[in-house]
Structures are given as structure tokens and as C-alpha cells.
Amino acid sequence: MGGDFAPDSCINGAFLFSKKNPKAKFAFFGDKKKILPLIEKKKLINQTDSIVNTNQIITNDIKPIDALRKFKNSSMFKAIASVNSGHTNAVVSSGNTGALMVISMILMKTINGISRPAIASMFPTKKSEIVMLDLGANIECEIKNMIDFAIMGKIFSKTVLGINKPKIGLLNVGSEILKGNNQVQKAAKRLKEEKNIDFYGFVEGNDITTGLVDVVVTDGFTGNIALKTAEGVSELYTEYLKNSFKDNLYSKFAFLISLPVLKSLWNRVQPAKYNGAMFLGLNGIVVKSHGRSDANGFSSALSVAYEMCENNFNEKIILDAKKIFK
């Protein structure tokens, strides 16, 4: 179990998740001495399938390739291996993203036709939810990767979000055809030629949240920064909002009156609700929970993984990808 607040955040997250999904079973990987008392405290024993004791920890400063080679007795490695062998259906981790990606990729392999997996997440917009990828799996991308992201995003949007003909946008600094760096120019040219997708064209940062397109494609460097900037702005806005209601006696009174409204708002905008980024393009379900996740966030990530399992999303994606990459 990884993440800044593990194992508490993971077990408490599992507890929250279990209340909504009483049929789900957990396999816990980590330091058994620490995990077991928490599981007992939360009365999760009945929903616990197994507890696998591990004694190596992949910290955030460990290179992915070293994690793969030297940390075979870590919770991350064991959990991925467990999904790969079919003992469990999905892995959810708050640990080192690069390590999670490399170990998953080597053990599970990518879906036929896809050269690199991508991290994808749903985003709230003014219309319905959209999907954006890559959010950090591929810091340096080739054009072929961006095409793969577009195709995976399209399949996800269709299969998971139920969009019949998803519009694909490529994130850029301007919507005009001449804008952007060499990479987005080349990628746009190839995306236009790709007959399996409906390419809208370039979209800008502010278009992500308007719902202009159903899938936003970008390289992992830009996508990660856009995602985290969005989180930061959302947190800042919430803080400003709370502070405005503390300004004076009148605003404190208004706060009491508005509390039910604000609670329903925060339920919609809370980043924890959008926690749980999916690794798309793998022969297995891997969900990355935010390193800073609390129990609520980890519970959301578990829900993402559970929904993907329950609805055979990955099987559908693999099937659809087979048709495209035949």
C-alpha cells in the first residue's frame, strides 16, 4: 500500500467503498502487522479475500525501472502480479505512478496495437463528463502514442460514457491551424487522416471544461500539468469561497443559511470525486489513486476500478481495439 497517508487512507477508503458495494471483495497487499488491526477495527474481515504480506516499499524517488527489477516483494508488484495471474480483478494504488505504469506494462503487456498505455481521467464540464489523456504516463510522446491515445479515448468515451460518436480534440495553445509546436502540428495531421476517429481539431486549455469535445488528447507532460493546475484552482476557489463567508457578521449569517447549498456544490466539485485515474491500453485493470488521497479519494478510485470490472469495460476496449488495430 502506497501513498502519503497509507495504509490508513486505503483501509478507510475500502471501508467507505464497502458500505456502497457489500459484494466487493478485497485483497490487501502490504505490511500485515499494520494492515490487519485496521481491517479488524473497520470490521472488513468478511469482505477480505486475502492479506498478502510484503516487506519492500517503492518510495516516490525510486526509478520505475529499479522498482521493476529490485522490488518484486513490494505491495505494488505483488498486487499487479495478482491481477495478472487472475487471482484478483483490478489493482488500485496510491503509490509511485511511474513504477505502477512500468510494472503493469511489463507484467500485463499492452493491448495488441497499442505501444504505450496512457493515464486517463474523467473531467467535469459545463455539459457532461469528458475524458482526457494522457495525464502523466508518457512524459515524452511520439506521434504514434498520441494517435493511440485518441483511439483509446474514443473507445472509452463510447463504452464507458455512452457517447455514440465522440469528438476528439488535441490540446494546444490556440485553435487556429497554424498554432502550436512541431509535435502537435504533426499529430494533428495524422489525426485528421485517421479514419477510426472523429477529429475535431485543436482545443485550448479553457475548452477542457466547456465540454467542446468528448475526448481531450495530450502528451503526459502537458496533461499532468493541466490536471494538477485544475485541482489547484478548484482548491483555491473553495478557499476563497469559504473565506468570503467569514468576512463579517453578516457573511457568517449568510453562511449558515447557505450551508446546505454549499454542501451540495462541494459534493459536485470535490477533487476526491474525480480521483481514480485509469491506465488505459493494458490487458488488466489498473487504477491510480492520487498520492495525496484521503479515504474519500481512495474510495472513489476503488469505485472506478469496480465499475470497470462489473461492466467488463476492459474486455470491451480490447475487443474494439482489435477491430481498429486489425
Residues lying near a copy of itself in the complex (CB under 8 A) are found at 60-61, 63, 124-126, 136, 139-140, 171-174, 176-182, 204-210, 218, 220-222, 224-237, 239-241, 244-245, 247, 250-251, 253-255, 257-258, 260-262, 264-265, 268-269
- State the Cα–Cα distance between residues 260 and 279, nearest whole angstrom: 36
Residues shown for the chain: 326
Min CB(275)–a copy of itself separation in Å: 13
- Alpha-carbon distances, residue 144 vs 17, 33, 135, 186, 189 (angstroms): 37, 46, 17, 10, 12
Residue among 32 and 179 whose Cβ is closer to a copy of itself: 179
What single letter denotes the amino acid at residue 11? I
Residue among 14 and 118 whose Cβ is closer to a copy of itself: 118
Instruction: Check if the beta carbon of residue 111 is closer than 8 Å to that of residue 201.
Output: no
User: For the chain, how long is the longest CA-to-CA vector?
Assistant: 67
Q: Is the dihedral of CA 55, 101, 207, 274 positive or negative?
A: negative
Containing 158, the helix (H) or strand (E) segment is helix 143-159
Angle at 45 between CA 40 and CA 46, to 5 degrees: 150
Residue among 16 and 58 whose Cβ is closer to a copy of itself: 58
Residue among 88 and 94 whose Cβ is closer to a copy of itself: 94
Residue among 18 and 293 whose Cβ is closer to a copy of itself: 293
Facing residues of 122 across strands?
A: 131
Residue among 180 and 284 whose Cβ is closer to a copy of itself: 180
Instruction: Check if the beta carbon of residue 17 is closer than 8 Å to that of residue 24.
Output: yes
Min CB(172)–a copy of itself separation in Å: 8
Three cell numbers written together for 125:
464540464
Instruction: Check if the beta carbon of residue 23 is closer than 8 Å to that of residue 47.
Output: no
Residue among 61 and 193 whose Cβ is closer to a copy of itself: 61
Nearest to 187 by CA among 137, 136, 142: 142
Q: Tell me the DSSP string of 53-115.
A: E--B---TTS-HHHHHHH-TTBHHHHHHHHHHTTSSSEEEE-S-HHHHHHHHHHHH-BPTT-S
Min CB(1)–a copy of itself separation in Å: 20
Min CB(169)–a copy of itself separation in Å: 12
Residue among 51 and 269 whose Cβ is closer to a copy of itself: 269
Min CB(268)–a copy of itself separation in Å: 6
Min CB(50)–a copy of itself separation in Å: 32
Question: CB 205: neighbour CB atoms within 10 A?
Answer: 16
Min CB(114)–a copy of itself separation in Å: 21
Min CB(231)–a copy of itself separation in Å: 5
